[in-house]
């Protein structure tokens, strides 16, 4: 069951609750409200229940929002991002470490992607720029060889974020 709920977050309607490096499971909910025995038009309760780590749950968050205004009313679009922030803050406060082996998020065309930073130390500026084509690159120092990079090789950051390189002779 936990595996199935993890797939909801990595591949399904709960994708807005995905946290890179953490195994998150969850389920979205969208319920049309009833009044006097009839469904109300445009009036929903949207929800998301999520937990982490999916393989050994230590934190559970449940978010329910009654009749959200001015937005598309789905649990995945409204409640899941709120749960994501609560789960991230909880993991930080409780010292829950990131874990390997989880499901990778299946990205859609409009999603921002997390990408692992390659090691460019020792490369020329031309080689480093080519290797870091998915990122913005800022250079400092003088020279033509990369002697330091931040963030470090192997770290994962959002596509398009900045990698800083120190150049020396």
Task: Tell me, yes or no, if the two domains 2-94 and 114-168 fold the same way.
Answer: no
Sign of CA dihedral 31, 79, 110, 2: negative
Whether the model pTM is above 0.95: no
Three-class DSSP labels, 67-96: CCCCCCCCHHHHHHHHHHHHHHHHHHHHCC
Please state which architecture CATH assigns to domain 114-168.
Answer: 2-Layer Sandwich (3.30)
Q: 2-94 has which CATH code? A: 3.30.450.330
For residues 96 and 31, what is the distance between their CA atoms, to the nearest angstrom? 33
For 151, residues 6+ apart whose C-beta sits below 8 A from its C-beta are: 117, 157, 163
Instruction: Give 110's strand partners.
Output: none
In tens digits, what is the pLDDT along the chain, a chain of 169 residues?
999 999 999 989 999 999 988 999 999 999 999 999 999 988 899 999 999 999 999 999 999 999 887 677 888 889 999 999 999 999 999 999 988 777 777 766 666 777 889 999 999 999 999 999 989 999 999 888 999 999 999 888 888 899 999 999 8
Cα separation values, 159 from 11, 15, 22, 75, 97, Å: 19, 17, 18, 26, 23
Q: What tokens does 13 get?
A: 């309607």
> Of 11, 10, 25, which Cα lies nearest the Cα of 62?
25
- Each domain of the chain, given as residue ranges in start order, spans 2-94, 114-168
């Amino acid at each position: 069951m936990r595996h199935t709920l993890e797939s909801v977050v990595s591949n399904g309607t709960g994708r807005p609750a995905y946290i890179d490096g953490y195994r998150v499971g969850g389920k979205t909910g969208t319920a049309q409200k009833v009044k006097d025995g009839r469904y109300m038009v445009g009036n929903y309760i949207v929800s998301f229940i999520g937990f982490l780590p999916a393989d050994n749950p230590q934190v559970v968050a449940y978010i329910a929002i009654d009749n959200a205004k001015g937005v598309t009313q789905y649990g995945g679009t409204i409640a899941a991002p709120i749960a994501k922030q609560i789960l991230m803050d909880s993991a930080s406060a409780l010292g829950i470490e990131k874990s390997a082996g989880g499901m990778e998020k299946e990205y859609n065309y409009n999603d921002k992607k997390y990408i692992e930073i390659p090691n460019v130390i020792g490369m020329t500026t031309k080689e480093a720029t080519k290797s870091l084509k998915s990122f913005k690159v800022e250079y400092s120092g003088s020279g033509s060889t990369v002697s330091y990079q931040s963030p470090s090789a192997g770290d994962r950051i959002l596509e398009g974020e900045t990698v800083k390189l120190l150049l020396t002779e």
